[in-house]
Amino acid sequence: MKVRKAVIPVAGLGTRFLPATKAIPKEMLTIVDRPTIQYIVEEVVSSGIDQIIFVTSEGKSAIENHFDYDFHLDCVLKEKNKRNLCEELDSISNLIDIVSVRQKKPLGLGHAIWTARHVVGNEPFMVLLGDDLVLAETPCAKQMLDLFDELQEPIVAVQRVSKEQTHQYGIVEGEEIDRERTHMVKRMVEKPAPGTTDSDMAIIGRYILTPEIFDLLGRTTPGHGGEIQLTDALLALKNLRSMYAYEFEGTRYDAGDKLGYLKAILAYGMRHEKLGSDLKEHIKELAAGL
Ligand code: G1P
């Protein structure tokens, strides 16, 4: 089956980024010239998916508005003869079909995904977490979708992290298979205490899931941090069918973390068509003064 839908949970409070996120959704913080969430949506679009399901919460309407058509703004810009801007805004509102569902209580990532079950229905789907930006030649989502076309089994994106960092991630213990960058998942654990796993394969916020996950999520009890964890339901899914961990090609930035966010701004800024060369020049000057 083909993956047509992507669930993007955007209901989180963004506490790691306070005070910046007190009145603004963290997904709307800007990287160079667009909000972080737009990079995720563009990744989905360029990977060939047809529909996005945002799982939102109170105070997140700026995200939906960003991808909507703004009649008033359009009129004002047209009056001022700002055709290029009009076209750019128009293309954002026409990027892809977007549906929103509300997560009414902050019960965890697993619960957020479960909230989208009626809109996803009985088909495989992708999940992308807004904090994880991946700069890659081929979009990370597309790399995974190509693999899913072949395997037709759930896939989680992983990257190697240091032993000191494993407690910050869902960790996968896997077995190599005869396919580059791909492992068969044996066990997974959400944010393991230091020293409790030998694996350094951390789950990054890209998943392709099959619809059995919804029943499993509905039965998952609170886990790490008292929240309903997607990783716990994934472990149950792995007991029903094969599951693969895929080491994607590209560089991942944790845009939900202050340092990760700064690194993302530099990386995306340096690649920017109009600003890149001036920014690189400035970075050289700064480095020379260190
Ligand atoms: C979530 C997942 C975790 C994963 C991480 C990747 O955790 O629960 O398994 O490794 O995203 O960014 P969070 O960062 O939301 O605590």
Q: What is the DSSP string of 141-178?
A: HHHHHHHHHHH-S-EEEEEE--GGGGGGSEEEEEEE-S
Is pLDDT larger for residue 125 or for residue 75? 125
Is pLDDT larger for residue 176 or for residue 51? 51
Residue 83: what pLDDT?
Answer: 86
Mean of the pLDDT values across residues 208-212? 98
* Ligand 1 pocket, residues with Cβ under 6 angstroms: 109, 129, 131-132, 169-170, 190, 202-205, 230-231
Mean of the pLDDT values across residues 174-199? 94
Give 216-230 pLDDT, tens digit per residue.
999 999 999 999 999
Cα 119 to middle of ligand 1, angstroms? 23
For ligand 1, atom 15: residue with the closest CA: 109
Cα 171 to middle of ligand 1, angstroms? 10
The band of 73, judged by pLDDT with boundaries at 50, 70 and 90, is confident
Cα 281 to middle of ligand 1, angstroms? 35
Q: Is 42 helix (H, G, I), strand (E, B) or coil?
A: helix
CA distance 63 to 37: 8
The band of 14, judged by pLDDT with boundaries at 50, 70 and 90, is confident
Going by C-alpha positions, the residue among 133, 132, 158 that lies closest to residue 144 is 158
* CA–centroid distance for 276 within its chain: 25
Mean of the pLDDT values across residues 85-112? 93
Residue 233 scores a pLDDT above 90: yes
- Whether 90 and 68 have beta carbons less than 8 Å apart is answered as no
Give 15-30 pLDDT, tens digit per residue.
889 999 999 999 999 9
Residue 71: what pLDDT?
Answer: 87
Query: Which atom from ligand 1 is nearest to the alpha carbon of 204?
Result: 6
C-alpha separations of 268 from 60, 63, 194, 197, 243 in Å = 25, 21, 33, 34, 32
pTM of this structure: 0.95
The band of 135, judged by pLDDT with boundaries at 50, 70 and 90, is very high
The band of 192, judged by pLDDT with boundaries at 50, 70 and 90, is very high
- Whether 142 and 42 have beta carbons less than 8 Å apart is answered as no
C-alpha separations of 149 from 158, 216, 243, 251 in Å = 18, 24, 14, 23
Query: Which atom from ligand 1 is nearest to the alpha carbon of 256?
Result: 14
Q: How far apart are the first and last CA of the chain?
A: 54
Could you give all domains of the chain from N- to C-terminal order, each with its CATH number?
A: 5-288 (3.90.550.10)
Residue 74 scores a pLDDT above 90: no
Residue 4: what pLDDT?
Answer: 98
The band of 195, judged by pLDDT with boundaries at 50, 70 and 90, is confident
Give 236-270 pLDDT, tens digit per residue.
999 999 999 999 999 999 999 999 999 999 999 99
Q: What is the mean pLDDT of the chain?
A: 95
- Whether 110 and 55 have beta carbons less than 8 Å apart is answered as no
Residue 215 scores a pLDDT above 90: yes
